Structure 1
Amino acid sequence: MITDFLSARIFLNWVLVILLCTIGVGHAYPQQDEETILEVAVVDAAPYGFAVSEGFFEGIMVDLWREVAEDLGMRYNFTLIDIDEALSGVREGTFDLAIGAITVTPERETMVDFSHGVTPSGIVTVVAKDHIHGKFETYYKPILLSLLKIVLILSTFMLASATIVWLLERKHRFHEREKQIRHLGDGIWWSAVTISTVGYGDKVPHTTLGRVVGIAWIFVGVTMVSLFTANAAAILSRPTVALTVTFQDLKKMDFAALDNSAASEYFDRHQMDYTGYDDIDEAIQDIRDRKTEALVGDAKVIRYLADEVYPGDLIISDNVLLMDYLAFAFQERSPLIEIVNVALLKHINEPRWQKTLFSPIHKEN
């Protein structure tokens, strides 16, 4: 009797252990039911996500999600919508997650949960090329400032060598007084003709130290002139327009930003006035028609449009106004986040994805 009771108790204990292990595994790794199909919102913004034809999607984030889902054995449907509908849909449970041009911001963090950061991005300024041609501030000024910087460096070296030789030569008296460097002006003249390799010989150093400085200046001068020529040629032959726009510049401009974008959220946070647009193509068209001066938005989205849709029509600022990260968006406390993050980190650390996701934000216009 006692033996039967102990056997039954041992049996019940083993059953309890097996049940606990099964429950533990189920909570640690939530599996997708074979009948479950995830609803994935794709934010319509190339190059991250867009439809090339009905039912067929492409883009950096779309391709990355496909690989992650394949690893996890997940089935899914894509729906192409704008950022506002995507985030509200994820929050309300209409979609299981959203992918595409989704920047992690403080405002969005209160609505949804994000995966690990997928790719760095930033906000830049874009203007119409014909709107800035002929403007001194945006076209000629950067070129002149670059050339002026080189001239100042060269002049500093010339003045330094002239001063040193004059200090060494001015107290000495020689037979050929007309060739003696007696004044600072004589030293500057000697330095200029020496660096230009003309060498008139009307002013020359006579002291040993003066001649040593002269020899050194010849070698330094030749190098400086070569560098000056190369840099000047590079600057003057630049096929692009240099454009730098800061937040202080924006405060003086009539500029646009997409509604519910990372840029507009930043401007709202800092109480900066801007014109809001629902459609980026409409905003760019208004820039080209000079209805507004500039558009501020995601760097890679704007670069894609400038290269693929409006080639030769737009100038993108050389500087990034604000750095940020893009990520996948999930409903708060979604069980998908952890398992997706593991697969996501595996892929974004692969060399080919590193090259795609971490390519330079800014390129020459």
Structure 2
Amino acid sequence: MSAKNIFVFVFSLFLQFSFAQENFDLTEKDTIVIGYSINPPFIYKNNDKLVGLSYWMWEELIKEETTIYKYRELPLDSLLNGLKKGTIDLVISPLTITSERNDYIMFTYPYYISNSTFMVHAITNKERFLTILSSVFSWSFFKILLTLFLLLFVFGVLVWYFERKKNSEEFSSDSRGIWHGLWWSAVTMTTVGYGDKSPKTVGGRVIGLIWMFAGLILISSVTASITSSLTVDKLTYTVDDIHNFRKKNIGTVNNSATETWLTNHFFSNVKTYESFEELIHGFRENEIDMVAYDEPLLQFTVQNEPNENWTILNISFNESMYGFGASKQLPLKRRDEVNEKLLHLKETDKWNQLLVEYDLDK
């Protein structure tokens, strides 16, 4: 064979190989490795059978496929590494779409938007009673009462001072008159108004007028402060409340978007677990004070653990978009096909019905 023929033969092989690589499709592989981790209600096991929102959507996506799929249950960290290395072709667990992950993962369109929150042990009646007692006998509570009595005393003495001569019948000039002034100050502040004591002088009435308006404001503020100090279960939280949790031992899933958020916001007492199941087990064994993770998963856990005294805090952070994640080996054409089917499925009655069933239609 001449050198020219050898060159033509080798060049033709190179073209065939290049053509095959350009037209590589995930469906042409003998077996496609599908990774997942248990993330209820999106994917979990019921009688050893996979169920959940994400799994239903995946089953619908491949309903007309003839490709052979092999499923592998792995922790989140292993799934992400598998996608990066190409040992996992596709992950059907809900993956939070982030810019960091987008560098090595090819995401589908998001099919659900959620956020992270906290799960804690709900307090018992005994703990609630002890908390109320500690609030009542706290220094903050006593400061409120001392301020109240100090103002009551000041205005009582002032009205006595103006009334002691010209209205001695109601505010005598002796020590009993001071007591009468305190009595008037108390009934005026509390808006009881018995009418047995009332200022007659101009000075006394000016003091009375000031005290009536001041008393309305004061009693409202004191009532609010006392109520706040006695409140055990907060109903609403703000973003500022999250900073108060920095001293708590918080648990989350390793390499999750929630862990990244906690780290970026300087939470130092964070313990990570390889899987969501291990995280819940650690919380059950009191290894951590609270759980920080995706709200749908924590809400589903609380609803399906009736024997556990757990509750979800009414606070949201780290808004997340869920999508399927594929290896970069997946051709763009194939991903576009998946996205087209995924968008269609999101508009079906069945998808909306599942959202209602799992209490995710918010």
Q: TM-score, normalised by structure 1?
A: 0.56
What is the CA distance between 1:52 and its match in structure 2? 1.3
What is the CA distance between 1:328 and its match in structure 2? 1.7
2:42 partner letter: Y
Query: CA offsets, 1:72-100, max 9 Å, x none?
Result: 95567572523234334444555553222
Instruction: Name the residue aligned to 1:304.
Output: 300
The change in CA–CA distance for 1:85 and 1:290 in structure 2 (over 3 A counts) is closer
What is the CA distance between 1:112 and its match in structure 2? 0.3
What is the CA distance between 1:319 and its match in structure 2? 2.9
What is the CA distance between 1:348 and its match in structure 2? 4.1
1:142-153 matched pairs, under 5 angstroms: none
SS in 2 for 1:327: strand
Q: 1:192, 1:287 → 2: CA distance? A: 51
Q: Of the candidates 64, 79, 82, which is equivalent to residue 71 of structure 2?
A: 79
Q: CA RMSD in A?
A: 5.9
Q: 2:118, 2:317 → 1: CA distance? A: 6
The change in CA–CA distance for 1:59 and 1:140 in structure 2 (over 3 A counts) is farther
SS in 2 for 1:101: strand
Q: Of the candidates 22, 47, 57, which is equivalent to residue 53 of structure 1?
A: 47
Instruction: Name the residue aligned to 2:94.
Output: 101
Q: Of the candidates 336, 341, 345, which is equivalent to residue 339 of structure 2?
A: 341
2:335 partner letter: I
- The number of residues matched between the two structures is 311
What is the CA distance between 1:39 and its match in structure 2? 5.4
1:121-160 matched pairs, under 5 angstroms: 121-127=115-121, 133=127, 139-140=131-132
Q: 2:102, 2:188 → 1: CA distance? A: 65
- 5+ long unaligned stretches in structure 2: 1-22, 172-178
Q: 1:319, 1:142 → 2: CA distance? A: 25
Q: 1:315, 1:103 → 2: CA distance? A: 24
Instruction: Name the residue aligned to 2:194.
Output: 200
The change in CA–CA distance for 1:257 and 1:281 in structure 2 (over 3 A counts) is same
The change in CA–CA distance for 1:350 and 1:213 in structure 2 (over 3 A counts) is farther
1:79 partner letter: Y
The question of 1:276 aligning with 2:268 is answered no
Q: 1:140, 1:60 → 2: CA distance? A: 43
Identity of aligned residues (%): 19
Instruction: Name the residue aligned to 2:245.
Output: 249
Instruction: Name the residue aligned to 1:314.
Output: 310
Q: 1:295, 1:73 → 2: CA distance? A: 40
Instruction: Name the residue aligned to 1:260.
Output: 255
Does structure 1 conserve the Cα–Cα contact (< 8 Å) formed by 2:116 and 2:292? no
SS in 2 for 1:246: helix
Q: Of the candidates 19, 37, 44, which is equivalent to residue 38 of structure 2?
A: 44
The change in CA–CA distance for 1:329 and 1:293 in structure 2 (over 3 A counts) is same
1:177-188 matched pairs, under 5 angstroms: none
The change in CA–CA distance for 1:202 and 1:107 in structure 2 (over 3 A counts) is same
The change in CA–CA distance for 1:248 and 1:171 in structure 2 (over 3 A counts) is closer
What is the CA distance between 1:57 and its match in structure 2? 1.9
Q: TM-score, normalised by structure 2?
A: 0.57
Does structure 2 conserve the Cα–Cα contact (< 8 Å) formed by 1:124 and 1:321? no
